[in-house]
Amino acid sequence: MTDTQADVLIDVRGVCKTFANGVVALQDVSLQVRRGEVVCIVGPSGSGKSTLLRTLNALETISSGDVVVLGQSVHAARVDLDRLRARVGMVFQSFNLFPHKTALENLMLAPLVVSRTPAAEVRTRCEALLAKVGLADKHDAHPAQLSGGQQQRVAIARALAMQPDIMLFDEPTSALDPEKVNEVLDVMKLLAGEGMTMCVVTHEMGFARAVADRVVFMEAGEIVHQAAPASFFDAPDNERLRGFLGQILK
Amino acid sequence: MQASSRRWWWYGVYLAVMLAFGVAVHAAGKRVDYSWRWERIPQYLISDDGTEMKAPFDGFVSIAADQKSLTLKELKGGRTQVLSGFDDLLVGDGDLVFQNDPLARKRGWVAGPLTIGLWMTLKISAIALLFSMLFGLIAGLGRVAKNPAVYGLATSYVELIRGTPLLVQIFIFYFFVGTVLKLSAFTAGVAALAVFTGAYVAEIIRAGIEAIPRGQMEAARSLGMSVPQAMRHVVLPQAFRKTLPPLAGQFINLIKDSSLVSVMALTDLTKAGREVVASTFSPFEVWFTVAAMYLLLTGTLSILVRRLEKKLAHD
């Protein structure tokens, strides 16, 4: 991995965020993600992980600092957010599939509406994506007819349909029944293996250890520690991280 | 078996109550000093009076030998008019007639005043419905907008309209807006109804949009869709399904509210009813008939919406 500036796809610089009710969500957070890197963000609930992820595509505003994604300052006044967001896929904890559309229509909507790609081309690409996440036989199923794991796989395929450069995952397996978690993680491993740049907020330590290039630990709105998974989990040289790992790996 | 026989018992109770109510109404009608003349009503729905052909100008009539056509020669001036295709002659050869005098009659069934009034009510309601949807959609989107100007305008519209009686609004539209903009009574009536109903539709649509989880908008936006694109393809189609029942109720109200435009010079079903009462002196029968005709319109709309709901539920 080279260290040139061009390879930094996400550059968070000293971001602070205070909610309207005075709660401090992010405190001077800085984070860089390079092309092809898989970064997992872990930490107790309420530590600001999801908020940080949501500032990356401006679903959340920031109070100060700067977020540069794909070379563009996300929170600048004159940024074409729609265009930028089209290049940054996002997967939500609650799937957020469009319930009035079938699985295939969920995938095809944005490419047709946003990119104005010819319908036949979009259909071919989206069918291939559904097959890739193992749902080739569910084209015409509505979200309500799918299990949670299947819905989340459709949601991943939907984000991929825009052919993004970066994928953001906001606790993608937290709303799933335990036996459905792995089918989603397997799809994410597949993506990581293909070199997709990924930011994953997760509680799945096994996934973080196996797939992440770097694991980031957040607590109380701050990035407390970040390291490669081996040292992160096996030799954590930070008191607060040890406390957290002690809690969850008991 | 037990459950189903109990069910039949309650159907029986329902029928008995309805029947008792009908008998009570009938008895009440008998008790007052009123002679019921239902037989007078049908002619105001449909009649075989036929249509009269009227003189377009003053002149002398000359009738053709075969009695199949007549020629009207203008009294002062050189115009002539040939009429044919009638069944009965109402004038004689050489008669002097004046403008709008009946010359001949064409036999056949024609709609009576109540039916014409029903048609007028239907026309007013249908056009007002289309525009109220448009106004309601725009104002409803304005009510969820973040822009203070858009939000303020939409809110003012809704509050202003909901806070004043429809009858007063109709007078304002007829006397003030209609005069300033030189609107016909029909246009002013439709506009008043559309603006009034639009305010209620706006609140229904706002509630429908707010009932859609925020994650839907976020998902659409995170895929690169603009707010209008997300509204059009993701939020509104879902909101529409949720709001169909209250919208249907509002449109049924619209049909009923349209009776208030009879205060303008518009012969809708209610105004037609008043006119028929004036010529028959049978107010009881006429108003029952008018009520039944309104029920026909609202009932049909109800059924259509229920079908649409079922269809959407299947999709």
The answer to whether residues A236 and A242 touch, using CB atoms and an 8 Å cutoff, is yes
Q: Does B211 touch chain A (CB under 8 A)?
A: no
Q: What is the pLDDT of residues A166-218, one digit of tens each?
A: 999 999 999 999 899 999 999 999 999 999 999 999 999 999 999 999 999 99
- Find how far residue B152's CA is from the centre of its chain: 32
* CB burial of residue B91 (10 Å; 0-12, 13-18, 19+): middle
Q: What is the pLDDT of residues B108-137, one digit of tens each?
A: 888 889 999 999 999 999 999 999 999 999
B-chain residues near A145 (CB < 8 A): none
Q: Does B219 touch chain A (CB under 8 A)?
A: yes
Local structure of A133: helix, strand or coil = coil
From the list A94, A215, A18, the residue with the least C-alpha distance to B214 is: A94
Q: What is the pLDDT of residue B315?
A: 59
Local structure of A15: helix, strand or coil = strand
Please give the domain boundaries of chain A with CATH numbers for all domains. Answer: 8-249 (3.40.50.300)
Q: What is the pLDDT of residue A97?
A: 96
Q: What is the pLDDT of residues B180-238, one digit of tens each?
A: 999 999 999 999 999 999 999 999 999 999 999 999 999 999 999 999 999 999 999 99
Which of 220-249 (A) contact B at CB < 8 A? Answer: none
B234: nearest CB among A59, A98, A115: A98
Q: Does A79 touch chain B (CB under 8 A)?
A: no
From the list A68, A70, A138, A59, the residue with the least C-alpha distance to A93 is: A59
Count CB neighbours of B281 within 10 A.
10
B-chain residues near A109 (CB < 8 A): 223, 233-234
The answer as to CATH 1.10.3720.10 being correct for domain B113-314 is yes
The answer to whether residues B232 and A114 touch, using CB atoms and an 8 Å cutoff, is no
Q: What is the pLDDT of residue A6?
A: 63
From the list A7, A26, A41, A27, the residue with the least C-alpha distance to A199 is: A41
The answer to whether residues B104 and B91 touch, using CB atoms and an 8 Å cutoff, is yes
pTM of the model: 0.80
From the list A79, A73, A89, A52, the residue with the least C-alpha distance to A166 is: A89
CATH code, B51-107: 2.40.50.100
Beta bridge pairs of residue A18:
A24
For A84, how many CA atoms within 13 A lie in the half-sphere containing its CB? 21
- Ranges under pLDDT 50 in chain A: 1-2
Report the b/e string of A211-236 with b at 16+ CB within 10 A. Answer: bbbbbbbbbebbbbbbbebeebbeeb
- Ranges under pLDDT 70 in chain B: 1-2, 314-315
Local structure of B265: helix, strand or coil = coil
